[in-house]
């Protein structure tokens, strides 16, 4: 069964979770979105309010690090979202649905695959 879209999620407060995605994605060709989760905690992370220890700032993922890693694996998009507040969820799903549908219809038009 072909995959039309994949959402790869990582914890904005844990750099290792982002690096794991970079290793895992090798060989994929569907629509790929990298999702930075817990956007609602971003300010707290960099102020040290949700810190597991004195070096918390080095554990948090900056937007520039996430974007660079998303580009390195040729992800189609990087979005920071919050499951808690719902921030950016509707926009993410709408955009991904439109793009996945466009790709499926393009494949179908050239006879390259099922719906």
Domain spans of the chain, in order of start: 5-109
34-92 pLDDT tens trace: 889 888 887 777 665 555 555 555 678 888 999 998 998 888 889 999 999 999 999 99
Q: How confident is the model at residue 107 (pLDDT cuts 50, 70, 90)?
A: confident
pLDDT, residue 79, reads 92
pLDDT, residue 4, reads 65
CA dist 39 and 107 (Å) reads 34
4-23 pLDDT tens trace: 667 788 888 888 888 887 77
CATH homologous superfamily of 5-109: P-loop containing nucleotide triphosphate hydrolases (3.40.50.300)
């Amino acid at each position: 069964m072909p995959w039309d879209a994949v959402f790869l999620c990582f914890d904005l407060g844990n750099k290792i979770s982002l690096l794991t995605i970079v290793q895992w994605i090798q060989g994929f060709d569907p629509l790929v979105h990298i999702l930075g989760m817990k956007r609602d905690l971003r300010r707290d992370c960099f102020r040290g309010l949700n810190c597991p220890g004195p070096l918390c700032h080095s554990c948090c993922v900056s937007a520039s690090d996430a974007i660079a890693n998303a580009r390195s694996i040729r992800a189609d998009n990087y979005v920071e979202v919050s499951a808690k507040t719902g921030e950016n969820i509707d926009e993410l799903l709408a955009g991904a649905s439109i793009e996945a549908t466009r790709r499926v219809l393009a494949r179908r038009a050239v006879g390259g695959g099922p719906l």
